[in-house]
């Protein structure tokens, strides 16, 4: 993410988001929200400081009050240029002043506030020292669904990011795999994501052979061999919105077992996708995918949740995981990415971003889910 806000949004869009966030805070019993630079601030205001420094920058949202951005004086001109700036008041503070006293003027002296998870501890401690009657909660824990439901413009951006990632896959399947290092294929993937419009590459996982059985393996020096399964999981940000897709390819002809395991994962991914519709709990998506793998006898080898939300970041709520009872709502976007990981041998994962529609789900990735054979 660079300093530029996604173009499709206007000051009115940000005004509406900030009003919705303030209302959600009130509904959650909070006196307000304190938002540090990061994904929530980008989503609420379109503003990303050029550099995050130790100087306090904080968006203060409280029900019934106008939003205020507390900002260092030297950053104020930049903040005033953000698309959302007309929807808020800037309150700048100059070096030598106490920024917590400036912020305290905007807060209830005895309120409970939601604060960004990525706010610096020194800032939270400064606020607590200045306003000993206040208390604080994790903004993400208090309002996990704040950014979960995407509006039509956000959906278009997520679909465009997904299409760009798909273009990258269509190109990477043509390159040579056998005899090259995972890191070289990963560099190709990163270059392709940028070529197709990504401004930021968050991950390019290339897990060949036994490395594919470790879902956290990124990529390394292993030379890919004929006969390897290769898990390719890649994504990043394009125009401020995320992509994240996985396909598992095979170098040359696969064995019957490799085909069978890939088929099971493909059916599990399809079952997870088909479970998506409004009102269904997130955990039902996980259960639907997991049931296919368990019935095929590989349950113990599916060792992670089925999916995660995506938006202005590539990992965020809602999570498709056992125990998550949050109902799906049209406009939510998340991954469906079951896998089977056979230690020391190979792994298979298939991942699409899916959005909830009025009566089901729609995939934002659409390359083939059949096993692709590469050279």
- For residue 82, the minimal CB distance to Zn ion (Å) is 29
Neighbours of 181 (CB within 10 A): 16
Q: Which stretch binds Zn ion (CB under 5 A): 6-14, 15-23, 160-168, 230-238?
A: 230-238
- Residue 191 backbone class (left: φ over 0; alpha: ψ -120 to 50; beta: rest): alpha
Residue among 142 and 168 whose Cβ is closer to Zn ion: 168
Residue among 113 and 298 whose Cβ is closer to Zn ion: 298
Residue 371 and residue 248 in contact, taking contact as beta carbons nearer than 8 Å: yes
- Reference 280, options 242, 230, 237, 318; nearest CA is 318
- For residue 346, the minimal CB distance to Zn ion (Å) is 7
- For residue 123, the minimal CB distance to Zn ion (Å) is 31
Residue 71 and residue 35 in contact, taking contact as beta carbons nearer than 8 Å: no
Instruction: Quickly tell me which residue has 């807060």 as its tokens.
Output: 107
Tokens encoding 344? 């020391």
Contact mark string toward Zn ion, 189..228, x via CB under 5 A: --------------------------------------x-
Residue 374 and residue 249 in contact, taking contact as beta carbons nearer than 8 Å: yes
- Reference 112, options 142, 135, 141; nearest CA is 135
Residue 108 and residue 31 in contact, taking contact as beta carbons nearer than 8 Å: yes
- For residue 25, the minimal CB distance to Zn ion (Å) is 29
352 contributes a contact to Zn ion by CB under 5 A: no
Phi, psi angles (nearest 5°) of residue 351: -135, 130
Residue among 182 and 233 whose Cβ is closer to Zn ion: 233
Chosen residue from 40, 244, 284, 352 binding Zn ion by CB under 5 A: 244
- For residue 17, the minimal CB distance to Zn ion (Å) is 25
243 contributes a contact to Zn ion by CB under 5 A: no
> What is the footprint of Zn ion within residues 246-265 (CB under 5 A)?
246, 258
Residue among 75 and 286 whose Cβ is closer to Zn ion: 286
- For residue 97, the minimal CB distance to Zn ion (Å) is 43
Distance (Å, whole) CA 157 – CA 312: 10
Neighbours of 291 (CB within 10 A): 15
> What is the footprint of Zn ion within residues 316-345 (CB under 5 A)?
335
Tokens encoding 254? 């696969």
233 contributes a contact to Zn ion by CB under 5 A: yes
Residue among 91 and 173 whose Cβ is closer to Zn ion: 173
- Name, in order, each residue with C-beta under 8 angstroms of 160's C-beta and a sequence gap of 6 or more: 197, 238, 239, 241
Residue among 112 and 315 whose Cβ is closer to Zn ion: 315
Distance (Å, whole) CA 19 – CA 39: 17
Number of residues interacting with Zn ion: please give it, by CB under 5 A: 7
> Widest CA span of the chain, in angstroms?
70
- For residue 313, the minimal CB distance to Zn ion (Å) is 11
Residue among 32 and 311 whose Cβ is closer to Zn ion: 311
- For residue 246, the minimal CB distance to Zn ion (Å) is 5
Q: How wide is the angle at C-alpha 3 spanned by C-alphas 364 and 11, nearest 5°?
A: 75
- For residue 359, the minimal CB distance to Zn ion (Å) is 25
Residue among 246 and 283 whose Cβ is closer to Zn ion: 246
Which residues contact Zn ion by CB under 5 A? Answer: 227, 233, 244, 246, 258, 335, 351
């Amino acid at each position: 993410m660079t300093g530029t806000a996604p173009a499709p949004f206007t000051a009115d869009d940000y005004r509406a988001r900030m009003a919705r966030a303030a209302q959600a805070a009130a509904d959650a019993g909070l006196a307000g929200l304190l938002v540090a630079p990061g994904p929530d601030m980008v989503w609420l205001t379109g503003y990303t400081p050029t550099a995050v420094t130790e100087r306090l920058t904080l968006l203060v949202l409280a029900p019934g009050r106008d939003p205020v951005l507390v900002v260092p004086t030297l950053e104020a001109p930049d903040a005033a240029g953000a698309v959302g700036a007309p929807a808020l008041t800037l309150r700048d503070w100059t070096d030598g002043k106490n920024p917590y006293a400036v912020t305290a003027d905007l807060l209830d002296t005895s309120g409970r506030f939601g604060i960004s998870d990525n706010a610096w501890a020194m800032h939270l401690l400064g606020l607590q020292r200045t306003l000993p009657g206040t208390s604080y909660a994790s903004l993400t824990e208090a309002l996990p669904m704040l950014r979960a439901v995407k509006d039509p413009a956000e959906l278009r951006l997520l679909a465009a990011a997904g299409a760009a990632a798909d273009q990258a896959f269509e190109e990477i399947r043509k390159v040579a795999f056998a005899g090259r290092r995972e890191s070289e294929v990963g560099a190709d993937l990163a270059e392709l994501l940028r070529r197709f419009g990504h401004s930021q590459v968050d991950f390019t996982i290339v897990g060949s052979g036994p490395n594919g059985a470790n879902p956290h393996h990124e990529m390394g020096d292993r030379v890919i061999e004929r006969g390897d399964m290769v898990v390719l999981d890649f994504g990043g940000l394009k125009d401020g919105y995320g992509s994240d897709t996985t396909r598992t390819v095979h170098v040359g002809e696969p064995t019957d077992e490799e085909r069978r395991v890939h088929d099971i994962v493909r059916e599990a991914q399809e079952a997870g996708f088909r479970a998506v519709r409004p009102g269904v709990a997130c955990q039902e998506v996980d259960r639907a995918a997991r049931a296919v793998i368990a019935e095929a006898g590989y349950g113990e080898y599916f060792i992670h949740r089925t999916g995660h939300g995506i938006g202005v970041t590539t990992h965020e709520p809602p999570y498709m995981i056992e125990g998550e009872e949050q109902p799906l709502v049209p406009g939510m976007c998340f991954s469906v990415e079951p896998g089977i990981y056979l230690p020391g041998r190979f792994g298979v994962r298939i991942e699409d971003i899916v959005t909830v529609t009025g009566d089901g789900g729609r995939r934002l990735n659409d390359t083939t889910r059949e096993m692709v054979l590469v050279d």
